[in-house]
Structure 1
Amino acid sequence: MIKLIRVLLLILLSLLVLNSGPLTSSANSVNPLPYEDEKSGKNSNAYLSTYEFLSTKMKEDFINEIYTYAMRANEKWGIPASAIIGMAILESGYGTTRIAENANNLFGIKVWGYNPKNAWQLKGQPDEDYEPVPVLIDYGKDRKIYDESKRRDNWYRAFTSYKEAVNYLAGNLLLNERYRFAKTNYEERRKKGWSYERASKEYLFDIANAGYIHLGGEYYRNKVGSIMDEYDLYQYDDRKLKDIEGHWAEEQILFLTEKGWISGYPDGTYKPNHSITRAQAAAIISNFLALTSTNKNIYFSDVVKSFWASESILLVAQHKIINGIGNERFSPNTFLTRAQMAQIFYNAGFYSQTVNNRVNSFKDVEQNFWAFFAIETMKQEGIMAGYNASRFGPNNPTTRAQMAAMIYRIHEKGLNK
């Protein structure tokens, strides 16, 4: 009778664990956990991919998404993009681990505590707490079912997207007091002539030895380094823009790139003579002013949440710097005219005082023109000029080089403060 009661109790406890939350996989899935499969389940499987086989396309698709975020993070915070991508591949199994699938957490970043906010619990992982976690059922080594309600060691930060995860790693975690020295070392080694490959691998060694992982610097350098070698991820570390050497706006473009206010394309170009779009302008202004949300509810039917500049567009609209074109549309891919550019700068307050005369500086800008005051004010401040003494070209598109030059002038004059 006592043995029967014990068996029934074990069954009851198993059911409680199985029903304690949604599962990523079933008992028949690859790499099951002990509470999913008491025979094949292992606690260490918690960190592995939920896929039995990853196709080449799956891997390439993951890298093609991540490298754009890594390059922008590299431009903004100086963390080597190759290391970011390599770490994401290793830690998330190309985005196929339970943590990556459920929390968009590509790096296994933890949040210690009992049911902390903005976190997801990886049930069934090995006990990593300083104090033992209560065990409900023990099937043997690496096959234990824990009391998940008593755990604080298996909660992981939940992100809304891969981009947010990359930005948190590069712009927050790796810049804190513990790891910041590694970035300084990386930059100094690059100045001494170290290759991107050697400097990036040494960066991994530094952060691992500082406590990023418990297996040590040599292990992490070799493990992630082999992934970086396989895909030649160092190609994403070179922040030099291939197509601006000798360009009239080269100095301004490079300065703004170093500041993280503008960025080039994934192929390493800036395309200085291409016309700038409304979305690109929104991203630059948002970065330049470090805009934060006003929590004002704004909706544009032609800007989906997954659009690369959706956040920037909402921010500039909330601050009434770049407004929509009517009918709940923003028209993100429309090229920006010079008149519109002047009005955006005017809306942002990039002037010491508004123009106080009614004299036309340009024959092609009448006093009743909708952007007259903005154009005259920008001319007065020395931010924008005409093609010649009498022609402004209000309806001509603004190029990416012109935008960089104007932002540079605004910064130099301190009009963004």
Structure 2
Amino acid sequence: MKEFESVNFVKGVVELVNSARTLIALILILFNINPLVSSANSANLLPFEDETLGRNSSAYLSTYEVPSIQMKEDFIKEISTYAMKANENWGIPASAIIGMAIIESGYGTTRIAINANNLFGIKVWGYNPENAWQLQGQPDEDYERIPVLADYGEDRKIYDESKRRDNWYRAFSAYKEAVNYLAGNLLVNQRYLFAKTNYDERIKKGWSFERASKEYLYDIANAGYNHLGGEYYRKQLGELMDEWDLYQYDNKKFKDISEHWAEEQIMFLAEKGWISGYPDGTYKPNITITRAQAAAILSEFLALPPLNKTISFIDVEKSFWALESIQLVAQHKIINGIGEGRFSPHTILTRAQMAQVFYNAGFYSQSANNGENSFDDVNKYYWAYIAIETMKQEGIMAGYTISRFGPNNPVTRAQMAAMIYRIHEKGLNK
């Protein structure tokens, strides 16, 4: 008998628990509460849901009143990786990209950022467009008036969401995709490309990353990226970039030049935009330099303008990465072809050839007129004799020893950077 009563007691408890679960589920349904819905959907309520938070302007706000320091740091750490890669691929300042992501997405906590991985509020205008996510409850921003279903007062309107084109936001698979779309599509289109050009020119003129990046934001905002204008956008994002020292991500530090003898010179030229590294983040300072690479560096260094003459080479295809640079140095007779319509872009430059290229570019105050040759391995009748003596005289190039120049030795990328640095320091490129 006791055993039977015990069994009934257990059954009763189980039934009671199941009843409680059913009741809780009914309550959740009745009050439209879904415990599995993310915080992004349960925050920034609509006007009929909450009198205070349910305002149309709240649709843009963070789902957290104040994201924690750890959340902010984690967000910046993740986005900085994508921003630096985007900077490498498209030249948009990484500090600006990160700052834009912070301010537009609330450190990744807005409903747009959480539901669509959209960090920048990039819209897709239209009725139920593909690859887009709808942000319901936002203010009316359409060109045509949106029907109002209910009006609870200022900033507390319920719109007919099925009639809207203005609240669809591009949906991305991940934050990385959003960053790449911003830097590789939106900010390099015809409307904003001038800002990148201005940024590059300012860096070359010696502007700091901080100043140039803030001015970049001013330019794109005035071009229409932010409706509040350049002064506002520069100030708001500038404060964030200062707070987190986001300019550190603009410093293109190559992975393989730490403690290299030419580290300072290489970094100086990289910051000026005169040299660049490889996609894997290296500079490869000790490998030799080709004629095409030398053409690219010199055309950037001298900011060579195109001349009204057409020069082409049969061994340089139209799709070749250094085509424009090769044409420019050939037009200015700095690096000429090798004959028979060829440029030989992949040929390694020797020290003698490098001296002649610098001489052709006019990197000297006075041409050498030595009575006696300085090096035993370069006699007076050598084809690059004057160029070598002039570069020695100017302190641009030196011998391996007092009497040996090594005219046929190849030039490395580090040596090229060091020589360009000396030319700049002596003001011979003006």
State TM-score, norm by structure 1.
0.55
Greater RCO between the two (CA within 8 Å, min separation 6)?
Answer: 1
Q: What's the CA shift for 1:240?
A: 3.6
Give identity over the alignment, percent.
72
Give the whole-Å Cα distance in 2 for the aligned partners of 1:227 and 1:32.
Answer: 28
| Residue aligning to 1:262 | 279
**Residue pair 1:75, 1:260 contacting (<8 A) in 2 also:** no
Q: What's the CA shift for 1:247?
A: 7.5
Q: What's the CA shift for 1:137?
A: 0.8
Distance 1:200 1:40, change over 3 A: closer
1:14-40 Cα deviation digits (max 9, x unpaired): x9xx89xx976599x543221432454
Give the whole-Å Cα distance in 1 for the aligned partners of 2:60 and 2:91.
Answer: 29
| Residue aligning to 2:112 | 99
| Residue aligning to 2:45 | 32
Equivalent in 196, 203, 206 of residue 216 of structure 2: 203
Amino acid corresponding to residue 168 of structure 1 in structure 2: Y
Q: What's the CA shift for 1:263?
A: 3.1
Distance 1:78 1:173, change over 3 A: same
**Residue pair 1:72, 1:263 contacting (<8 A) in 2 also:** no
Distance 1:213 1:102, change over 3 A: same
Equivalent in 56, 60, 63 of residue 50 of structure 1: 63
1:150-183 Cα deviation digits (max 9, x unpaired): 0000000000010000000001000000000000
1:125 and 2:138 equivalent?
Answer: yes
| Residue aligning to 1:335 | none
Give the whole-Å Cα distance in 2 for the aligned partners of 1:196 and 1:26.
Answer: 35
Give the whole-Å Cα distance in 2 for the aligned partners of 1:105 and 1:118.
Answer: 12
**Residue pair 2:254, 2:277 contacting (<8 A) in 1 also:** no
Equivalent in 63, 73, 77 of residue 60 of structure 1: 73
Equivalent in 204, 222, 246 of residue 235 of structure 2: 222
SS at match of 2:169: strand
Distance 1:258 1:132, change over 3 A: farther
SS at match of 1:229: helix
Amino acid corresponding to residue 99 of structure 1 in structure 2: I
Give the whole-Å Cα distance in 1 for the aligned partners of 2:205 and 2:53.
Answer: 52
**Residue pair 2:61, 2:106 contacting (<8 A) in 1 also:** yes
Q: What's the CA shift for 1:135?
A: 0.6
Distance 1:68 1:56, change over 3 A: same
Distance 1:241 1:39, change over 3 A: closer
| Residue aligning to 2:54 | 41
| Residue aligning to 2:362 | none
Tell me, which stretches of 5 or more residues in structure 1 are unaligned?
1-14, 265-269, 274-380, 384-404, 406-417
**Residue pair 1:205, 1:218 contacting (<8 A) in 2 also:** yes
| Residue aligning to 1:72 | 85
Give the whole-Å Cα distance in 2 for the aligned partners of 1:88 and 1:222.
Answer: 15
Amino acid corresponding to residue 179 of structure 2 in structure 1: V
Q: What's the CA shift for 1:53?
A: 2.9
Give the whole-Å Cα distance in 2 for the aligned partners of 1:54 and 1:192.
Answer: 39
Aligned pairs, number: 251
| Root mean square deviation of aligned Cα | 3.3
SS at match of 1:145: strand
Amino acid corresponding to residue 185 of structure 1 in structure 2: N
Distance 1:116 1:184, change over 3 A: same
Q: What's the CA shift for 1:191?
A: 0.6
SS at match of 1:140: coil
1:302-332 Cα deviation digits (max 9, x unpaired): xxxxxxxxxxxxxxxxxxxxxxxxxxxxxxx
**Residue pair 1:85, 1:233 contacting (<8 A) in 2 also:** yes
Q: What's the CA shift for 1:246?
A: 4.6
Give the whole-Å Cα distance in 2 for the aligned partners of 1:39 and 1:64.
Answer: 34
| Residue aligning to 1:373 | none
| Residue aligning to 2:165 | 152
Give the whole-Å Cα distance in 2 for the aligned partners of 1:96 and 1:161.
Answer: 14
| Residue aligning to 2:198 | 185
Amino acid corresponding to residue 178 of structure 2 in structure 1: A
**Residue pair 2:56, 2:139 contacting (<8 A) in 1 also:** yes
State TM-score, norm by structure 2.
0.53
Give the whole-Å Cα distance in 2 for the aligned partners of 1:151 and 1:258.
Answer: 49
| Residue aligning to 2:288 | none
**Residue pair 1:75, 1:263 contacting (<8 A) in 2 also:** no
Give the whole-Å Cα distance in 2 for the aligned partners of 1:260 and 1:24.
Answer: 43
Amino acid corresponding to residue 125 of structure 1 in structure 2: Q
SS at match of 2:54: coil
**Residue pair 1:25, 1:32 contacting (<8 A) in 2 also:** no
1:119-157 Cα deviation digits (max 9, x unpaired): 000000100001110111110111011110000000000
Give the whole-Å Cα distance in 1 for the aligned partners of 2:79 and 2:159.
Answer: 34
**Residue pair 1:25, 1:50 contacting (<8 A) in 2 also:** yes
Give the whole-Å Cα distance in 2 for the aligned partners of 1:223 and 1:162.
Answer: 22
Give the whole-Å Cα distance in 2 for the aligned partners of 1:228 and 1:26.
Answer: 26
SS at match of 2:213: helix
Matches within 5 A, 1:315-354: none
**Residue pair 2:40, 2:110 contacting (<8 A) in 1 also:** no
Matches within 5 A, 1:351-362: none
Give the whole-Å Cα distance in 2 for the aligned partners of 1:239 and 1:25.
Answer: 38
